[in-house]
Every structure is written in C-alpha cells, then in structure tokens.
C-alpha cells in the first residue's frame, strides 16, 4: 500500500463516523507530516448555510497543537480583500488547482497574501478545489465544496511526489468533509428555525406526532404594542424592518441569558428557560432581570435612531411566569410544529396583555418573584381570562426606570 493509499484509507474510515472537522483536519496534517510531506501551513475553506456566516475555515500551522475554526460573515463577501484573494480568482476563472512558488526560480507573488507568506519564509503554495452538491449553493454552484490550501517552508518547496500525494488524497478528504459539512448544515437549519433545544430533540428522532416531554420552566413572553395600526400604515418593507428591530430588543437579551426562543407568533416572541432546581431558578431569574433591563435599554437606543430617521418607534411589554410545560410535537403527521404548551404559557400571554392597562413594561407572577425575593413590588391581584382566582402580579424594583413604567 502506497503512502497516499494509507491516508485515503484512514479518511474513508473517518467519513463513516462523526468526527469534528477541526479534529479531522488536524489529524490529516499530522499524518501527512508523518509520511514525509513537508507541509507547514494548511487551510480548509468551505461555504455554509447559516444565518450569520457565509463561509468557514479551519487553520493549521506546523507548531500548533490543534486546528482552529473561523467564520466569515455575509458582509465580508464583497470586500476588496476577498476580491484580491486566491480563492476568488479560482472561482472567477473556474480553476480546480493553483500553485505558486514563493521563492527561487519561478517565484510568482501575484496576490497580496502570497507576498505576506513569502515574507514569513514560506516557499511554496498549493491550492486544490473539489466541488460537490451542497445545500444552499444553488445560486452559485461554483462556490460549493471545499478549497484546501497547502503551504511549505522547505527551501526547495514541494516535490512532484508531494504534490501527487496531496492530489491523490483530495477526493477522499472531500468525501469526508461533505459528510460532516452537510450534517452541520442540517443542524444549523434545524436550530435556526426550531431553536436549539427543539432542534436537538428533532435530530435525536423525536419527530412523531405526540412526541414530547414535561419540564418545569420559566416562560418569557413579549408582544409588540400598536402593531395593528403599524401594519395598516407602514409599507411592508418598513414594517418588516421595524419588526426585526423589535425582535432584536425583545429576544436577543433573553437568548444571551440562556433562553430558548420557541416561537415567533406574529409580533410576539415566546422564550423558555428550563429549570431543574430551585437553585437554578434563582440563578436564571437573576440573569433574566438583567436581560429585561437590557431589552428596554436596547429599545430606547433603537427608538432614538428611528426618531432621527423619522421612523415609527417600537414599544412592547414582557410577561414572566414559572410552571410545568410540555415540549412536544403538535399538528398533523405530515406537518408538525415543535412547541410548548401548558397553563403557564396561556397565563403568561394574558399577563403580558395587562402591562398595557397597568402602565408597566414588565409583569411577573408570584412564582417568579419568589425565586429572587426583595427585587419585586406587588402590582396587586388581577383577574386573567380563563383563570378562576385573581393572580398577584409583580414589577421588578431595580431594573431601571424604563422597565418599571411603560413609555408614554
């Protein structure tokens, strides 16, 4: 068995498992060093389907103890640096391979990066591109698959045998990468549209009607005010922008505090914080109070910017409740929705509606207030539709004036 065959055999075994791509690439680089290929720098690039990132890259250098994963956001797609890069050149001219000697006879530094690498002592630069079908790449099939970049700092650079080995392992590497990348994209899509916890539950096989679990949770429910008027007066594009500004204020702090967005319901957002113990409830509730304050600080900042542009301002309320909820699949077998149900969810929606009439941006039940005593003030007992007994509600004491009283 030749040297390349040994590496190919290993890559095919890896493709049948579920290794982290960083680990696979690091181990590949170490194996290549082990068989005598003098790589000193390596990069693995691929496009991805993710709401925040357009591409990802794994970096390895000979003295590193691991390979490092980096992300490139969507705004970086049209930068001057990208359009002067080797990869852009290969995409533009549909090249599957590119080599540049960085020193000695035949030296060619026709891209800014190559000059930088030559200055760092690298002598050879070799790039291979392998295309494969990939979700989300239908609009530009050229940018699908992987780019693998190999660098060498040996004075004589790569030999013909080195380059042959790198080419012979490329297809097996691409196969292993395709398996891992497509699994990651599936996870990205599921978690983006369902949420982390719901997404993982679905990927774990809970996809039948009625599948679900019961848990104690703190429920955060927010609803935008004046939406009926806004939808009737704003052009659709302006309303969508306003809606996303609102969701950023109402949901982002909750996500940072560890919440799981279970649903965007029109112009409302439902967030769940699972609680396994009272101690966890105390810790989570304290974080939620900070998140609530951050929500309304963000609202004030966003509204200041919107006022300067002559745009409609946003306002919203937040209801908080604690209770037993059921996470599960509802709907019909052909079209399921993973959601949360229970009296705590029904109550919190109605509690949030009272923020308008009680002139308070935030209202919480006694169960929430009891988790961190001393940080709440009673707003009295109030009747909720469908609930027999009046319920005592509370407003937070120390989250800032914007939280305590609704904006006029």
Which domain CATH number covers 222? 3.30.70.1230
End-of-domain residue from the set 144, 174, 191: 191
Are residues 181 and 245 both part of a single domain?
no
Are residues 159 and 255 both part of a single domain?
no
Are residues 240 and 162 both part of a single domain?
no
220-187-246 Cα angle (round to 5):
35
- Distance in angstroms (rounded) separating the CA atoms of residues 100 and 117: 11
Which domain CATH number covers 122? 3.30.450.40
The one-digit pLDDT tens for each residue of the chain (408 residues) are 577 888 989 998 888 887 889 999 999 999 999 999 999 999 999 887 766 677 889 999 998 888 998 887 655 566 788 888 999 999 889 999 999 999 988 899 999 999 999 999 999 999 999 998 765 554 455 567 899 999 999 999 999 999 999 999 999 999 998 888 777 766 655 555 555 665 565 555 555 555 566 778 889 999 988 887 787 788 888 888 888 899 899 999 998 998 888 777 778 888 888 887 777 778 888 899 999 999 999 999 999 999 999 988 999 999 999 988 876 666 666 665 666 677 888 898 999 999 988 888 999 999 999 888 888 989 999 988 778 788 899 999 865 444 444 433
What is the dihedral angle through the alpha carbons of 263, 265, 269, 275, rounded to the nearest 10 degrees? -40
Instruction: Write the DSSP assignment of 282-329 as a string of letters.
Output: HHHHHHHHHHHHHHHHHHHHHHHHHHHTTPPP--EEEEEEEEEEEEEE
Give the Cβ contact number of residue 156 at 10 Å.
Answer: 11
End-of-domain residue from the set 142, 161, 191: 191
Burial of 57 (0-12, 13-18, 19+ CB in 10 A): middle
- Distance in angstroms (rounded) separating the CA atoms of residues 39 and 74: 31
Are residues 356 and 369 both part of a single domain?
yes
Burial of 244 (0-12, 13-18, 19+ CB in 10 A): exposed
Picking from 186, 175, 200, 188, the residue whose alpha carbon sits closest to that of residue 71 is 188
Are residues 152 and 208 both part of a single domain?
no
Give tens-digit pLDDT for 235-256: 888 888 888 899 899 999 998 9
Backbone angles phi, psi at 171, to 5 degrees: -70, -40
Are residues 134 and 220 both part of a single domain?
no
H or E stretch including 56?
Answer: strand 53-61
Are residues 320 and 246 both part of a single domain?
yes
End-of-domain residue from the set 191, 213, 232: 191
- Distance in angstroms (rounded) separating the CA atoms of residues 185 and 191: 10
Confidence at residue 139, expressed as pLDDT on a 0 to 100 scale? 47
DSSP 397: S
Are residues 179 and 209 both part of a single domain?
no
Strand partners, 263: 270
- Distance in angstroms (rounded) separating the CA atoms of residues 400 and 133: 52
Are residues 181 and 207 both part of a single domain?
no
Cβ contacts of residue 77 below 8 Å, gap of 6+?
A: 54
- Distance in angstroms (rounded) separating the CA atoms of residues 272 and 275: 9
- Distance in angstroms (rounded) separating the CA atoms of residues 348 and 1: 67
Query: E-assigned strands of 333-384?
Result: 335-341, 362-365, 376-382
Give tens-digit pLDDT for 82-110: 888 999 999 889 999 999 999 988 899 99
Are residues 248 and 203 both part of a single domain?
yes
How far lies 318's CA from each of 231, 248, 355, 386, 404, in Å? 21, 14, 8, 20, 11
Give tens-digit pLDDT for 298-313: 999 999 999 999 988 9
Are residues 264 and 386 both part of a single domain?
yes
- Structural domain containing residue 97: 3-191
Are residues 248 and 140 both part of a single domain?
no
Number of domains in the chain: 2
Backbone angles phi, psi at 287, to 5 degrees: -65, -35
């Amino acid at each position: 068995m030749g040297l390349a065959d040994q590496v190919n055999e290993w890559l095919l075994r890896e493709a049948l498992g579920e290794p982290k791509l960083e680990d696979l690439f690091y181990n590949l680089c170490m194996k290549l060093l082990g068989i005598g290929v003098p790589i000193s720098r390596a990069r693995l690039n691929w496009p991805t389907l993710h709401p925040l990132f357009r591409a990802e890259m794994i970096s390895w250098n000979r003295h590193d103890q691991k390979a490092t994963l980096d992300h490139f956001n969507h705004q970086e797609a049209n930068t001057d640096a990208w359009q002067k890069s080797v990869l852009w050149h290969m995409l533009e001219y549909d090249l599957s391979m590119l080599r540049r000697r960085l020193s000695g006879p035949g030296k060619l530094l026709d891209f800014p990066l190559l000059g930088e690498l030559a200055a760092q002592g690298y002598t050879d630069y070799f790039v291979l591109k392998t295309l494969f079908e990939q979700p989300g790449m239908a609009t530009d099939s050229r940018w699908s698959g992987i780019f693998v970049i190999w660098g060498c700092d040996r004075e004589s650079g790569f030999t013909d045998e080195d380059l042959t080995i790198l080419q012979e392992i490329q297809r097996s590497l691409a196969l292993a990468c395709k398996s891992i990348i497509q699994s990651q994209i599936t996870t990205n899509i599921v978690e983006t549209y369902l949420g982390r916890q719901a997404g993982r539950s679905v990927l774990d096989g809970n996809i039948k009607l009625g599948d679900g679990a019961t848990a104690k949770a703190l429920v955060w429910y927010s609803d935008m005010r004046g939406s009926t008027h806004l939808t009737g007066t704003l052009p659709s594009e302006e309303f969508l922008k306003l809606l996303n500004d609102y969701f950023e204020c109402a949901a982002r702090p909750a996500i940072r505090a560890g919440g799981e967005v279970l649903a965007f319901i029109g112009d409302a957002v439902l967030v769940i914080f699972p609680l396994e113990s009272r101690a966890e409830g105390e810790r989570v509730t304290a974080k939620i109070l900070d998140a609530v304050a951050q929500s309304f600080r963000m609202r004030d900042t966003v509204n200041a910017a919107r006022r300067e542009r002559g745009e409609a301002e946003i306002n919203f309320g937040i209801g908080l409740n604690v209770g037993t909820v059921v996470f599960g699949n509802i709907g019909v077998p052909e079209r399921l929705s993973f959601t949360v149900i229970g009296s705590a969810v029904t109550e919190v929606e109605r509690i949030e509606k009272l923020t308008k009439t009680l002139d308070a941006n935030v209202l919480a039940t006694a169960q929430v207030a009891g988790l961190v005593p001393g940080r709440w003030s009673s707003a009295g007992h109030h009747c909720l539709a469908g609930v027999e007994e009046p319920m005592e509600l509370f407003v937070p004491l120390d989250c800032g004036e914007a939280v305590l009283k609704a904006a006029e």
